[in-house]
Amino acid sequence: MKLILKNFLLFFTVFIISCSPAGSSFTPSPIPVIPAEISIGSGTFIFSFNNIDVEVFYHVPAAYTASSKVVFALHGGSRDAEGVRNNMIQKSIEYNFVLIAPKFSSQNFSLGDGYNLGNVYEDGDNPSTSTLNDEEEWSFSIIEPLFDSVVSSLSLMEEKYNLFGFSAGAQFVHRFIQFKPNARFNKVVAGAAGWYTVPDNNIPFPYGLDNSILTNTNLSNLLSKDLYIQVGALDNDPNSVGLRHNEYADAQGLNRVTRAVHFFESGQNIAESSNYNLNWSLHIIQGAGHNLIPNADNACDLMFN
């Protein structure tokens, strides 16, 4: 049974996040919320945003209630959102959460600039004010209205969502919380990222914050977020396919394990030197390599235990 009427539009005012070179602000903007065509079980629907159609894979457990939480699962570089959804269905049932896996296609969000780096800049490796994209063009900007759409469709009461990203998706989620600091995320799990944007104004973006609109980041606020940094203990191959190597990436370490440790310790060092609270944590998954399933399973256990 469909939980919504296909042609029913519900309009109300929601709040979106606005970032600028002067820092982040919270800007009210009236936008239409169009309920998603979503029902109990597994399926797909098309979410349209900024003239782009995004295919969304989902699972709604049969026992879901209005108080069920929403988990966004962000795919890796293969863009296999369907595979991510399929491999997380059992956890969705176990913890009774609504699973949403949007597909950021190469056609709409090409390469790492369009997906991993959020489509914030036309060329993320060479950021400039002239190549800064409008915020509505960011891939990051799809998450909030998609959440509103799902909440409206399923009549959920939950006001926040959790995020899990694997590999390139982990790059997406850890940058999402930096570019969208006031978004309505609760717990965020970055699993097996290839490299990171470290909260350091002495390192150029995308490896640090310098030369980007993140230079005025509120580090105390960033470090207060519930960010779980995880990686498989065996994800330590420096020659792993697609793993970036250059001066700045290799300064973080030569493999995903050392880079995850480096990113966590960078936050830890800032918190200690500035007397900030740190809600980041580091999790090494024993026996796991660069594989989705152990990362996804562990992420769900972290979020719901």
Position 36 scores a pLDDT of 86
Taking the C-alpha atoms of residue 79 and residue 105, their distance in angstroms, rounded to an integer, is: 6
Residue 5 lies in a domain: no
- CATH code at 196? 3.40.50.1820
Residue 119 lies in a domain: yes
HEC letters along the chain? CCCCCCCCCEEEEEEEEEEECCEEEEEEEEEEECCCCCCCEEEEEEEEECCEEEEEEEEECCCCCCCCCEEEEECCCCCCHHHHHHHHHHHHHHHCCEEEEECCCCCCCCHHHHCCCCCCECCCCCCCHHHECCHHHCHHHHHHHHHHHHHHHHCCCCCCEEEEEECHHHHHHHHHHHHCCCCCEEEEEEECCCCCCCCCCCCECCCCCECCCCCCCCHHHHHCCEEEEEEECCCCCCCCCCCCCCHHHHCCCCCHHHHHHHHHHHHHHHHHHHCCCCCCEEEEECCCCCCHHHHHHHHHHHHHC
Residue 160 lies in a domain: yes
Judged by average pLDDT, the poorest of 24-38, 60-74, 188-202 is: 24-38
Give the count of domains, the chain.
Answer: 1
> Is 188 in contact with 225 (CB distance < 8 Å)?
yes
**Mean pLDDT score across all residues of the chain:** 92
Whether the predicted pLDDT of 292 surpasses 70: yes
- Reported pTM: 0.90
Mean pLDDT of 243-251: 98
Kindly report, residue by residue over 94-147, the tens digit of the pLDDT: 999 999 999 999 999 999 999 999 999 999 999 999 999 999 999 999 999 999
Mean pLDDT of 171-198: 99
Residue 1 lies in a domain: no
pLDDT grade for 288, boundaries at 50, 70 and 90:
very high
Mean pLDDT of 145-174: 98
Position 31 scores a pLDDT of 60
Return contacts of 282-285, CB within 8 angstroms, 24+ apart: 282/229, 282/230, 283/228, 283/229, 283/230, 283/231, 284/230, 284/231, 284/232, 284/233, 284/257, 284/260, 285/230, 285/231, 285/232, 285/233
Q: What percent of the chain has pLDDT over 70?
A: 90
The residue that leads in pLDDT, 111 or 296, is 296
Residue 109 lies in a domain: yes
Position 9 scores a pLDDT of 37
Residue 4 lies in a domain: no
Position 35 scores a pLDDT of 82
Residue 222 lies in a domain: yes
Position 24 scores a pLDDT of 43
Mean pLDDT of 225-242: 98
The residue that leads in pLDDT, 153 or 28, is 153
Residue 55 lies in a domain: yes
For 254, the domain range is: 10-304
Position 33 scores a pLDDT of 81
Kindly report, residue by residue over 7-55, the tens digit of the pLDDT: 333 333 333 333 443 344 334 344 668 788 899 999 999 999 999 999 9
Whether the predicted pLDDT of 5 surpasses 50: no
